[in-house]
Structures are given as structure tokens and as C-alpha cells.
Structure 1
Amino acid sequence: MRRIPTITKNLLIINVLAFLMMYALRTVSFSGAGPVDLNDIFGLHFFMAPDFRLYQLVTYMFMHASLEHIFFNMFALWMFGMVVENVWGPKKFLFYYIACGIGAGLFQEAAQFCSFYLTVASQYPSLSLAQLPEVARHLGDALNSWTTVGASGAVYAILLAFGMTFPNERLFIIPIPIPIKAKWFVMIYAGIELFSAMSTTNDNVAHLAHLGGMVVGFFLIRYWRSHPGAGYDRSGGQQFFDNLKRRWDNRAHRNEFGHTGTQSNGNAYNNRQQDWDYNRREREDQAEVDLILDKIRKSGYDSLTAEEKRKLFDSSKRH
């Protein structure tokens, strides 16, 4: 298994620890008080509810409702997040994850506001928007139950980033018996979420939050693509490839000047000849990688051919 990059690994650890702590505190009674529900404290409440706090727009994405909920979110984060982070770099990846998670929370807040207004207006047709806060104050206990938890909005944004970065990569998705391109996989998921959001069935899933994360992610990626020098592109996305090129340079330098040791006269010539042949092949491989990296800087990763991608991947495994 490939090494999990720093941000993806830390996000997995934080989410799992938060879930274990939530589960432990929920089942333990303290002296003089009942169990503590961390999902109620750090989950995202409706902004007109008494328990709403601004920090919940960040903390809610690290809380989960069940073992199944956290398992599927963390599996998707591990599978797609480590690839996207390796291409983008840690700073850009973390900014994208948090920004899309916050955006998903705001979409959920907007959806809850519309639901609240339509429900109240159906009972009181003459109600104005200015009167909603007063109604919300009287319904505070009920509105406090409108709580959203989970990393799904940010994870769906990571899924979108993978599909937009590697649109033609083929994925095997159960139960589909044939591989499907990443771009179609993302479109199918987005379509399912849109259909579910429009459905009148209440399944307690924040479908609009999922779509919100993808919408924010889409516009972020489009902005970064149209402004290559803005944001985290140079220090983030290119960092992976710059580090790869630097390792190539260091390896070639060691091969050229670093071979030492005592040799017998009979083997000296053959060893030197092998070193020269090895260094020549290394320089040729390095020249190819340099051309590929220059192409990425000019036209982006998607401009590479399948053979160029294979060459870059093989070189990263050797170094």
C-alpha cells in the first residue's frame, strides 16, 4: 500500500478519534449529570436554533452519526484523497477540503431555512420574513434537533476533484461489472444526490450538503485552472512534481560522483564501464522526466499521454 500523505492521514486520524470519543462519552454517565453528546455540541445546528455556534461550520465535518457513516466517508477519503493530495500538495488539498466542507454546511443551512420558512408559511400564510426569528425563538427545542454531522460534503468535493483531475481513469465500482471512467462516476453520483435532494422522502441524509461541497469544489478548481499563478498552485500542486525532479537530480549527482571503494585492477575497468552505462541511462531517464515535468507546468497533468503518465509513475516508485 502506498504511503498515505500527511493531510489525508491526519484527517483520517482526527475523524476516527472524534468518533471514538463521541461514542465513549455518549455511553458513560458522569456523577450529577447524564452522558455527553459531542454530536450535539460540535454538530452543525440550524442557524436560527438556540444551540447554533459559528465554529460548528468547521467542527461538524469531523463528527459522524454511526459506524457505517464514518466507514464509507473515511474509505472514500483514503482512496481518493491520497491521490489528489499527492498531485496538489498538502496546503492546497487542506484548503480545498475545509473550504468545501464549510460550503457544504452553508448549503445545508440554506436548505433548512427554506424548509423552515415553507413549513411555517403553510400554517400562517400572512407570515413575513421579519417575523421568522420570533417564531424560531418559540420553537427553539424543535429546531435544536436539526443537526448535521459528517465529512460527506468535503469527501464528495474530493471525489469531484479526482474526477476533474483524472477524468479518463477507469474505476471498478460495485456492483457495476465493467470499469467506468472517473468523470462518468462523478456525474452519476451527482445525479443521484440531486434526485435524492428533490425527493419528498425524508431519509435523514443531507443531500444538499453533498451537492454543496461539489459545487464549491467545482468553482474552486475552475478558478485555479483559469488563474494558474493564484492560490496554492505553485506551492501545492507543483510541489509534488518539483520534489520528484529534485530527487532525480540528487540521485544523478550521487551516481556521477559518489561511487567509491577499493577495487582490484582486473575488475576496475568493467565496473567503471558499468557505472558509465548506468549513469548514461539515468541521465536519459532524467531528461525524459524533465520534459514531462515541463509539460505539466505548461499544460497541466491532463495533457500527458498514457505513456508519459506511466513513465512519471514508474520514476516516482524508484525514487
Structure 2
Amino acid sequence: MFNLTPVVRVLLIINVLVFFVTNESIIDQFGLHSFLSDKFNPIQLLTHMFLHGGFGHIFSNMIGLIVFGPMLETFWGPKRFTFFYFFCGLGAALLFSGINYFEMHDVYETIQAYRANPGFEPFSGFIDQHASAYYDRLLPFIEQFKQFPNDSKNIQDSIAIANRIFTNQVDEPMVGASGAIFGVIMGFGLLFPNTQLFLLFPPIPVKAKYLVLFYGAFELYSGVYRAQADNVAHFAHIGGMLFAFILVKYWGSQRKTFY
């Protein structure tokens, strides 16, 4: 059904094998952590691309790889396709990590200010701005703190909660080959823009360039307006597409050198 090329086949096999041996400890050690986390290790910029959070996650990524990857590998050859795949994956990780650092550093600065001047109003503001996903779980404490805002135990507990929220957020690993796969999709759309693809939902044909445009617009919108509970690394997807665009255009400008 699928004409798998050599590199695509190897990537598929590695991802599937790793998926079956993956556990929480492996994800915690090799998933990509925030630059602000004590758990961050530079090797995670590479290893996170071979880890997935569930069957649906790896299935969607591997379908993208085997549908769009073989034509790119055939067009460029194994070496160039391999470079492209990891270039997009690493670029996606760097963009995601950079934006994550900016967001988490803002949380860190807010917590530092709260430690210096704790109280119910600034605590409530911190939860609303940076931790709304925790609101329901914290509601009993919030009500208690509101009723007794000057209680020293409530104040110390609020500081501990703020610290724990920050730690949980920076220690949450990002995993998946999605950045590289979105790069592959972008590369396919740029090189074969008028290729007709038949969608499953809805079952209609669409040109590759329009599919890429839709993916890009959706991920940009989701990255900017997503809820904290989304749990999808949209900026990693955008990063993969952005770095794919840059590399394909660069190679195109060097056509006389490579073709």
C-alpha cells in the first residue's frame, strides 16, 4: 500500500520500537524539558523526536511520515532527506523551547514578585493569568484564603502552591516527531503544490498547497489562542514548517550547485 523508501522505513521502525519500550521514566529523562528546568539536557533536543505520548499520537505522526516522506526522499535522496527531517525537528524544538522560555520566565518573575509581596489578591491574579487550568483543584484553598487572607499558614501555603505550579510547568516534557513531520508536510507542499490529495474527513480531493496553508493557519491560530489545557505543542509544529520553508527555499536558490 505504501512504497516506503529506506530512510522513511528506518525512521518508522525506530519510532515504533521506541514506542513499545517507552514508559514514564524514559519520557521524563529523554522528553524535551524547558530550558528553565533542572531536568533539561541538550540531548533531549534530539531524543524527544522518537518519543510519543500515546497510540493516537504516534499513529498520526507515522501516517504523515509514510504518506509524504517517500516522495521527498526519492526527490532529494536519502542523505538530503535525513538532513531535512532532523533540521526541521531540531528547528521545531528550538522555536518551541524559545517561546516556552519566554512564557515560563514571565511566570518565574511573577512568582518572585509574589514571594516579596504575598496576599490573596496577587495570588488570585497569578492563578487567573498563569495557572487557570489549576483553578478547579485550587478552588477550596482559594475560598479559604479569601476568607482568611492574613492567616500566615494560608500565605505560606499560597507561596508553596505557586512554586509547585511553576515546577510542574517547567518539568512537563514535550515529546513527539510532530515538528519534523510538519516540516515534511511543508516540504511536500512546496515541492509538489498541485498534487491532489484525497482527504478522509471530509472525503474530498485537495491540492497539497492548500492543505499546507490550512495546517499552517490552524497551528498559528492554535499557538496564539490555545487554552493552557490544550496540551499540544503548536509552536513546535509551526517551527517545523518554518524551518522546512527556509531550507527548501535555500536549496532552491542553490539549484545550480545541487542539481
TM-score interval for Structure 1 and Structure 2 normalised by the shorter chain: 0.7 to 0.9
Percentage of matched positions with identical amino acids: 39
SS in 1 for 2:255: coil
1:205 aligns with 2:193: no
User: Shift of the alpha carbon at 1:145?
Assistant: 2.4
Distance in 2, matches of 1:64 and 1:57, equals 14
Conservation of the 8 A alpha-carbon contact between 2:15 and 2:50: yes
**1:260-275 matches, cutoff 5 A:** none
1:103 aligns with 2:97: no
Relative contact order (C-alpha < 8 Å, sep 6+): which is higher? 2
Q: Counterpart in 2 of 1:149?
A: 175
1:86 aligns with 2:74: yes
User: Shift of the alpha carbon at 1:144?
Assistant: 5.1
Distance in 2, matches of 1:180 and 1:3, equals 21
SS in 2 for 1:148: coil
TM-score, normalised by the number of residues in structure 2:
0.76
Q: What do residues 270-293 of structure 1 show as CA deviations (whole Å, max 9, x unaligned)? A: xxxxxxxxxxxxxxxxxxxxxxxx
Distance in 2, matches of 1:48 and 1:122, equals 15
Instruction: Choose the corresponding residue for 1:184, options 176, 189, 210.
Output: 210
Structure 1 runs (4+) greater than 4 angstroms displaced: 123-127, 138-141
AA matched with 1:175? F
Conservation of the 8 A alpha-carbon contact between 1:48 and 1:143: no
Q: Counterpart in 1 of 2:150?
A: none
AA matched with 2:21? M
Taking a change above 3 Å as real, the CA distance of residues 89 and 107 of structure 1, as seen in their structure-2 partners, is same
AA matched with 1:108? F
Structure (1 or 2) with the larger CA radius of gyration: 1
Q: What do residues 226-252 of structure 1 show as CA deviations (whole Å, max 9, x unaligned)? A: 11245xx34xxxxxxxxxxxxxxxxxx
Distance in 1, matches of 2:111 and 2:26, equals 34
SS in 2 for 1:45: coil
SS in 2 for 1:171: strand
Counting matched residue pairs gives 210
Distance in 2, matches of 1:57 and 1:193, equals 21
Distance in 2, matches of 1:117 and 1:59, equals 24
User: Shift of the alpha carbon at 1:120?
Assistant: 2.9
User: Shift of the alpha carbon at 1:169?
Assistant: 1.0
SS in 2 for 1:180: strand
Q: Counterpart in 2 of 1:15?
A: 15
Conservation of the 8 A alpha-carbon contact between 2:39 and 2:171: no
AA matched with 1:39? I
Structure 1 residue ranges without an equivalent (≥5)? 27-35, 128-137, 235-319
Distance in 2, matches of 1:115 and 1:210, equals 17
Q: What do residues 3-58 of structure 1 show as CA deviations (whole Å, max 9, x unaligned)? A: 31100000000000000011xxx3xxxxxxxxx62111111111121111111101
Taking a change above 3 Å as real, the CA distance of residues 208 and 2 of structure 1, as seen in their structure-2 partners, is closer
SS in 1 for 2:39: coil
AA matched with 2:5? P
AA matched with 2:82? L
Q: Counterpart in 1 of 2:244?
A: 217
TM-score, normalised by the number of residues in structure 1:
0.62
**1:228-267 matches, cutoff 5 A:** 228-230=255-257, 233-234=258-259
AA matched with 1:163? G
Q: Counterpart in 1 of 2:53?
A: 65
